[in-house]
Amino acid sequence: MKWAAALWCYAMSVNMRSDCSRILKLALALAFLSIGRLQAQDEAWNLLGETPPGDTPVPFPLPASPGNFAAERIAISHDRRTIYYTELNGYNAGTFSRLMVLTCKGASWSSPSLVLSGRGLLAPAFASGEDGLLLDGKITSRGSQGWAEPTAFRHGEKCHYLQQTKTGRFYFSIANREETEWDIVRAAVPGSGAADEKLGLNIAMHPPFAGFDMDYYIAPDEAYMILMLSGARDFPCSGASDLFITFSDLEGHWTKPRSLGAAVNPPGANEWRWGPCVTDDGKYLFFTRDTGRGTHVYWMRFDELRERLSR
């Protein structure tokens, strides 16, 4: 913007008022044009060079090695220049996962780099400060030698889709002992002597989906959650699983979950939708979709849809 300031100074020194006015208008026009172009470029090439989508989900181009596919929740840094994701070879007892990272320097993206490999390295999400990563019930931190081997958030307890909000509190989904009902838990602060708090969703699951993991996303300000439901007693799905949204009211209660709609949940008895997450500005929703013809991460514009569903 230095050139705009220079033009302004020059304009102020010109004796003829008409010339000054013309130069000033030119400077302002060029400034606004430059800002608009920079914003458009930043939004586009900071997300792998893709044109940002509208309210129809489209595939998000995460590279995967032969025989693997990218899936689950992904972690996008605040500046949109780092993306962590998982590639895996399936969902069975022998599933092997690889935690990958893409980085943007200047106007180009790197090839994916391996961060960690092993079992259960699924669904990365940033912890506070982006120097920690939360996986499916595990935590890893970054030091001078890179990312440490993940450790369990709680030994002997399954803490599905572990997340941390701006309050610093941890959340995870968990089933009851019979694995017929799921809820989201706000974890007690270690050493506080307090107990975990269930949010009271109490999602009842029909067989054969009893015990099925409930993927979810909670907004950084804890204003809303996106839930993956499958076989839920009170929430019929148009596919094998659908994504729903629930909002927190002023008293800390959660509204009845509502479907994200046909664009996200099109009819298809064998189609699965899971792994939701949203960019920290609330603008884009990402989720995994298995259409029966392949598994991919999708993304879409989300802020307007969220606003409509909150009314």
CA distance linking residue 248 with residue 226, whole number of Å:
12
**How far is 114 from 43, CA to CA, in rounded Å?**
25
Amino acid type, 194? A
CB 181 within 8 A of CB 205: yes
- Nearest 5°: the CA angle 198, 71, 273 is 60
pLDDT tens, position by position, 260-292 = 999 999 999 899 999 999 999 999 999 999 998
Amino acid in position 281: D
Give CA–CA dist 235/30, Å, rounded: 53
Neighbour-count burial of 100, counting CB atoms closer than 10 A to its CB (0-12 exposed, 13-18 middle, 19+ buried)? buried
The answer for residues whose C-beta is within 8 angstroms of residue 266's C-beta and 6 or more apart is 238, 239
Q: How many helices (H) and strands (E) does the chain have?
A: 3, 23
- Looking at per-residue pLDDT, the higher value among 42 and 160 belongs to 160
Can you name the residues that pair with 83 across neighbouring β-strands? 76, 102
Helix, strand or coil for residue 108? strand
Q: Helices marked H in the chain — which ranges?
A: 2-13, 17-45, 303-309
Q: According to the model, what pLDDT value does residue 18 have? A: 52
How far from chain centre, in Å, is Cα 248? 19
> Which token pair is 38?
């920079």
The pLDDT of residue 112 is 96
Q: Give me the pLDDT at residue 24, please.
A: 41
Q: How confident is the model at residue 92 (pLDDT cuts 50, 70, 90)?
A: confident
Binning the chain into helix, strand and coil, the percentages to the nearest 5 are 15, 35, 45
Report angle CA 219, 61, 139 to the nearest 5 degrees: 45
DSSP conformation class of 228: E
Name the residue among 264, 227, 238, 296 with its Cα closest to residue 74: 296
Mean pLDDT of 142-171: 92
120 vs 99: CA distance, rounded Å: 10
Contacts of 75 (CB under 8 A, 6+ apart): 83, 84, 85, 124, 125, 126, 133, 277
Q: How many CA atoms lie within 13 A of 240 on its CB side?
A: 12
Alpha-carbon span 125 to 157, nearest angstrom:
19
DSSP 31: H
| Percent residues over pLDDT 70 in the chain | 85
Q: Are 162 and 185 spatial neighbours (Cβ–Cβ below 8 Å)? A: no
Predicted confidence (pLDDT) at residue 37 exceeds the cutoff of 50: no
- pTM of the full predicted structure? 0.85
Q: DSSP assignment, residue 4?
A: H
User: What average pLDDT does range 32-44 have in this prediction?
Assistant: 45
